[in-house]
A and B are shown apart, each in its own frame.
Chain A
Amino acid sequence: MAVINNMVLSKFLGLCPFFGVSKKLSNAISMGVAVTLVMLLASVSSSVIYNYILVPYNVEYMQIVIYILVIAALVQIVELIIKRTNLNLYNALGIYLPLITTNCAVLGITLINSAENYSILESTVSALGAGMGFTLVLVIMSGIREKLDLADTPESMRGLPIAFITAALLALAFLGFNGMM
């Protein structure tokens, strides 16, 4: 899950933070850790809700509404906890923390878990893998982009377009991991 079906490069989830936060290496690492944490908590709680509330009462179609509320609540709680316990980390994460709510990778992994009918343990593991894959790619990408800033790119290519082409090459490299399965 972490490298073969990478969240960003093969499922295209979480692209907004991928291109938004990957300008500096330090930000990329903290963002990756925060996303992994929220993903893990969200997967566990949503799979508990799915298996013990939605399925017994036959209301699986409510999953989108429920999951998005669970994720929003979780992000708030994580934000409060980090603020109380570690103020430095809170300041470092800044605006990126509340933005995790609208990160499609988080909602995506919970929806994938229920679509695949994973048990609670399986969803935890898949969320951990997905989060680590996200962090890995984010860190690699930000390393490349730090160097890319120094390069002389054509004017209309500067910024996002060249970032996309970089991502294309990165995705090509990750495609090679397919052979591992």
Chain B
Amino acid sequence: MNDLRDKREDCPGRSVGSIFWKEFVKGLVISNPVFILTLGLCPILAVTTSIDNALGMGAGVIFVLLCSNIIISTLRNATPSLVRIPVFIVVIATFVTILSLIFEAYIPALHQSLGIYLSLIVVNCIILGRAEVFASKNPVLYSIADALGIGLGYTIALFIISFLRETLGTGGLNVFGFQLFSLPVLSEHPLTFFISSPGAFLVIGLLMALFRWIGVVKCE
């Protein structure tokens, strides 16, 4: 029995004991929402000009994903399948409104710089996608794990992209006001190309190719 299970999950985390952990890891690595599933791309490109924005956005997505997954999975037996999509959208929109009000009240600077992309979490394919594919069919506990895994995977992707763009584009790294480091030559002559919109497309295109290349190498 144990042997069989180990064989079945030979590619994902091997030492995985509970299903909770398995769902969590799945979202984090194997089906990373950005690089592998290519979901939720619009905000990815827009908010990754600085680490602050990227982390704020990631936190927002985790919050909305977690809350909406919990609610949708709790209501999964009471929701008629004919109207499930409108129900999901209203649930998600409610939490996005709550999030936007919280950000406006406590971290107005971040709310200002994220702008409409914060509200656009409503139409982020990841959240509706997880509601439809996972939360509407699985118990609450697993849905929480799924939300945390996918949300963290999304945040990590945001972090990697914004790290590259901010380091190359400004020649240093500022996290919430603290200067972490600044590179000697780059900080005087920053490659502002990476902060501009073409740079965003280029960085994410190259990263996607890299992830795919790693995937190909690992499978062989």
Chain A: residues with CB nearer than 8 A to chain B?
Answer: 9-16, 19, 61-65, 68-69, 72, 101-104, 107-108, 111-112, 115, 154-157, 160-165, 167-169, 171-172, 175
With beta carbons under 8 angstroms apart, the residue of A13, A112, A165, A172 that contacts B206 is A165
Instruction: Report the tally of A-B residue pairs with Cβ distances under 8 A.
Output: 112
A107 near B122 (CB under 8 angstroms)?
Answer: yes
Distance in angstroms from A113 CB to nearest chain B CB is 10
A64 near B38 (CB under 8 angstroms)?
Answer: no
Q: What sequence of 0s and 1s flags, for each residue 194-220 of chain B, a beta carbon within 8 Å of any chain A beta carbon?
A: 001111111011101110110010000
- Compute how far the CA of A112 lies from the CA of B38 in the bound complex, rounded to whole angstroms: 25
Distance in angstroms from B20 CB to nearest chain A CB is 29
Interchain residue pairs A-B with the least CB separation, the first 4? A164-B205, A168-B201, A161-B209, A156-B213
A163 near B46 (CB under 8 angstroms)?
Answer: no
Q: What sequence of 0s and 1s flags, for each residue 3-26 of chain B, a beta carbon within 8 Å of any chain A beta carbon?
A: 000000000000000000000000
* Interface residue B93 (Cβ < 8 Å from any Cβ of A): yes
Interface SS majority for chain B: helix
Distance in angstroms from A69 CB to nearest chain B CB is 8
Binds A, one of B50-58, B73-81, B96-104, B175-183: B96-104
Chain B: residues with CB nearer than 8 A to chain A?
Answer: 38, 41-46, 86, 89-90, 93-94, 96-97, 100-101, 115-116, 119-120, 122-125, 128, 196-202, 204-206, 208-210, 212-213, 216
A15 near B42 (CB under 8 angstroms)?
Answer: yes
A65 near B97 (CB under 8 angstroms)?
Answer: yes
B208 neighbours in A (Cβ, 8 Å): 160-161, 164
